[in-house]
Structure 1
């Protein structure tokens, strides 16, 4: 608190420490709304948690131990796909909250506004997917999931430029690449409602990646270094995977990522 006034840092921390999925989604949307309406002071007196609170389910497994999804158009395969997408959106709530709370004091009000808006979007996406899963007779938590997305956040917790380089500009950008094919597969299976959900997510994710790219450029300017060189250096140091084609070049360009940036570090198509 600052002079009795609620602070954005305290509100973000409370949302991160909310374990129940639906309650976390509601908390994220409330923080974003209260910040937008001027109800929260720009102050960060509390440290962000090393790890956000998580529900008892889903069970979190290493990626190597994740069960195969099954055939894409089988009922089991469809549920596994939507459960995996739901987990990505659930973790993305924490990713957006954490970057706003961990680096907001350093980066300023506009940065907080952008990433609390992202958190609210991810909460809405999670709600749409969870309702879709329930309409299919399942729910979030019914299947295991892996924690690779949060591991990437934890590994970059000491440097905002590294966080921006890896999370929005690599991991979320990969979503721009794979979502169109997933959307086509879902629509081909007759799931028009699911296809509309994915179209909404893709549109929003372009904006989210653009926020990451824009604030990363600001970091590079402050450090008086070339943005592309800084990005390549940080990705090589902090990203354990490979940047693989095919790329959705038009969506990436709309998000502020030029082919000149990621093309030089990408694996050749078909490699790996």
Structure 2
């Protein structure tokens, strides 16, 4: 890993112009396999970039195209990655069941670090604030991961102890050639799903007497609203630049890239806070209703077969 921290307590513009720019440093962090080292590198880089931008010395090199190395993202040997259908749900009434849940959440946050870092290094030609936004997201995801890993340790486990799936990174791979598709489908579909599921998970943890883990979910939900809002803002910016209608573009991209169909219940309050408008929320509700009707038809034998 390249060093991303400055040792000068009184930084000036020259301190932020090292040959390896901040997007390259984000790529270095993405390649790091050790989760703790990755989180540390991300937080150090975010602090460096924040200080550099406040000094008027950004070092993003936004026009520079970077080559993709092999082996992305960096990840530890464990957890074992399996088909999502192989992952069994366990009751949160038992400590083991809660540990499995916390591990699944930690895996989501570890992937979210990688997704945000990938946006920083991969997409040249964006405004500098785009890179700053996604590096801030990466640092907050690293904090979430550390909170969940600490709770796992309280249960006698660590990240890697249980199998997990690779669905989040697979969408990252599918959208690697188009920043509009990335903004449309990762923050606005996959990450926005966390806004819906966090409250019921929190309630179940509280019911099981795990107030500390429930408090971690409060932190994550608060921050994820901001992350999805960032995704919404950049999605709409890109639609404006390309002369596209955001609603039509979102639906077309979801179909083109085979995004998972969203099913309710939805956290409409959090989604509104994250920047979804009424038309988008009505579309989600309609998709959910049509999915329910299709499910009912298949159960009664009235559904059409393909």
Which TM bucket (shorter chain)?
over 0.9
Deviation at 1:40?
6.1
CA contact (8 A) 1:34 1:40 kept: no
State yes or no: 1:14 paired with 2:14. Answer: no
State yes or no: 1:147 paired with 2:155. Answer: no
CA offsets per residue over residues 179-228 of structure 1, 9 Å max, x none? Answer: 00001111111111111110000000000000000000000000111111
Query: What is the aligned length?
Result: 270
Deviation at 1:76?
1.6
CA contact (8 A) 2:180 2:235 kept: yes
Deviation at 1:231?
1.1
CA offsets per residue over residues 83-130 of structure 1, 9 Å max, x none? Answer: 000000000000000011111x32111101110000000000000000
Structure 2 CA distance for aligned equivalents of residues 143 and 3 of structure 1:
42
Structure 1 CA distance for aligned equivalents of residues 247 and 256 of structure 2:
14
- Which residue is equivalent to 1:89? 109
State yes or no: 1:42 paired with 2:63. Answer: no
- Which residue is equivalent to 2:76? 55
Q: Which secondary structure state, in structure 2, belongs to the residue aligned with residue 107 of structure 1?
A: coil
Q: Find the structure with the greater CA-based Rg.
A: 2
1:198 alignment partner, one of 205, 214, 217: 217
State yes or no: 1:65 paired with 2:83. Answer: no
CA offsets per residue over residues 37-85 of structure 1, 9 Å max, x none? Answer: 117622245324462111000011111222x132121122111100000
CA contact (8 A) 2:268 2:281 kept: no
- Tell me the TM-score normalized by structure 2: 0.84
Q: Which stretch of structure 1 is more off in the superposition, 117-126 or 184-193?
A: 184-193
Q: Which secondary structure state, in structure 1, belongs to the residue aligned with residue 288 of structure 2?
A: coil
Structure 1 CA distance for aligned equivalents of residues 17 and 230 of structure 2:
32
CA contact (8 A) 1:69 1:76 kept: no
For structure 1, list consecutive stretches of 5 or more residues without a partner in the other structure. Answer: none
Deviation at 1:239?
3.1
Structure 1 CA distance for aligned equivalents of residues 24 and 192 of structure 2:
30
Q: Which stretch of structure 1 is more off in the superposition, 45-54 or 16-25?
A: 45-54
CA contact (8 A) 1:13 1:46 kept: no
For structure 2, list consecutive stretches of 5 or more residues without a partner in the other structure. Answer: 3-15, 296-306
Structure 2 CA distance for aligned equivalents of residues 241 and 70 of structure 1:
23
CA RMSD of aligned residues (A): 1.9
- Tell me the TM-score normalized by structure 1: 0.94
2:42 alignment partner, one of 28, 46, 62: 28
State yes or no: 1:158 paired with 2:177. Answer: yes
